[in-house]
Chain A
Amino acid sequence: MPPLSLRYALSFLLLAFLPVFAAQAQLTIEIVGGAGSAIPIAIVPFENESNYPLGITGIVGADLTRSGLFKLVDYAGVSPRPTRAEDIQPAAWRARNADAVVAGSMRPLSDGRIDVRFGLVDVVKQTTLLTMSYTVTPQQFRVTAHKIADVIYEKLTGDLGIFSTRIAYITKQGPRYQLLVADADGADPQTIVTSNEPLLSPKWSPDGSRLAYVSFENKKPVVYVQSLATGQRAAVANFRGSNSSPAWSPDGRRLAVTLTKDGSSQIYIVNADGGPAARLLTSSGIDTEAAFTPDGGAILFTSDRGGTPQIYRASVSGGSTERLTFDGDYNVSARPLPDGKGFAFVRRAANRYQIALMDYATRQVQVLTDGPDDLSPSVAPNSKLIIYANEGGGRGILAAVSSDGRVKQRLVAPSADVREPAWGPLPRQ
């Protein structure tokens, strides 16, 4: 075993990775379609909330509305406003057609922190579903609001909330490329990398602490891994030829990458901190776009070994390789669902590139978007939403679609060409 020859390029030279507030790249979200049966919920402003600059309940309401699974019920005219679960009068809220009501309070503590607490009441069944309290600083209000939205979403839908997650994406403005990380609602974008050469394929480490990406800064594609906390980065695949398409193993210790060091584009495994590359598969055509399955036992990848690009699955411990897509002559960019039930991918039909979903059990393909240039799907940790880029006309925007195809959102950045979104993991508790 050769020593791990880390090519630590602690490059403070070309790339500015210190977090910089990038207001020009702020994404705003428009909901363009909704579920048929949204849950009507009233979110009453918390007691004393108006004493603080950032409205927590406003963020909670926006998160829930954006999921497409909730609609807000007006609280105007309710007097007195409830501040605890036991204050909520079910009959008054049923008269407004609410199914659920949230009420709470914010109280300053002697150490300068704030006690935030709330209750969620099912006014149909007239039961308190949960009460929670948090002791936080004003700097933590936004994070706290997303946490509150998560627990309400989980309680009422049975699925994991993903409002506390982050997304990474690439922007291009003139000759300048940036890799940014923002909250899942598009707020607080931070610049991670800036370069005058293309940046590609950002991928979150499973613990959310690092990003792998491809940079052309050395005039050819090289795969880097960069810590979000320290900005330190290492070239983990910088072999002769092209290095691209990183994909993390679920344990965060290895990456699948596409290399051309031995000829055409083929898939190899490298350690997450660099070192030699071990070839995983062999074909005489193109193999690329590897993605590990959630159990880490297999990869999905794109190959043209059958004459057209299609999606295959291969065991990482040797053994069989299976073709998964057969419909059409272009099926690429497979992204496994975290729940293990299938994968999102890009298909081309009648010259339109669309996001689709394959279910392993039925082998049925469900087309989720219309195209014409929908690319780079990335699945939320709860498997319920897929973010992707619509790159049409060189003016890319991000969009998201629910995995049942019913809820669609557009995420708009005012002035940049946005592409290649990557949905981050659930934050560690």
Chain B
Amino acid sequence: MPLMHLTASPIDVGAVLGEVVRESERVHGGTGACGALASFVGMVRRDHAGRRVTRLEYEAYESLAVKVLTRIGHEVGEEWPGTVLAIHHRVGDLAPGEISVVIGAASAHRAEAFAACRYAIERIKQVAPIWKREHFGDGETWLEGATADPDDSVARLQARKQACG
């Protein structure tokens, strides 16, 4: 299973976390290399701005999105050396309560692992070419957040600040 992945199928959280631990062991030379494994799991929320969401539709520019997720993994390696990241993101139609994204970060210590997870979700929201459309009982609307620019150093610094509290 690739570390960075878009999928139309439900995401197995345990499989993603197992994969990031295996990759950390491969990079760092064997079992016990990482002392911390942190995760972030995003789920479809039922309510948005007082309206009841019936489903969320995720769309991605898949070939570019995988490159961007890989780049986020490299950024994490620059910010917190030795930390290994996996990101699996859903595409297609999701019901409230379903998992939309799973991030796993394996590191020697917990501070880096937690920070890497927070950094990764902020960067996904800033730069990953993925969009969601909310469907309500009586209509639908595309959500539009950030203008994607991976080279915007101000945005990257902002994500780092959020990650480090």
A binds B: no
Question: Using a CB–CB distance below 8 Å, which chain B residues touch chain A?
Answer: none
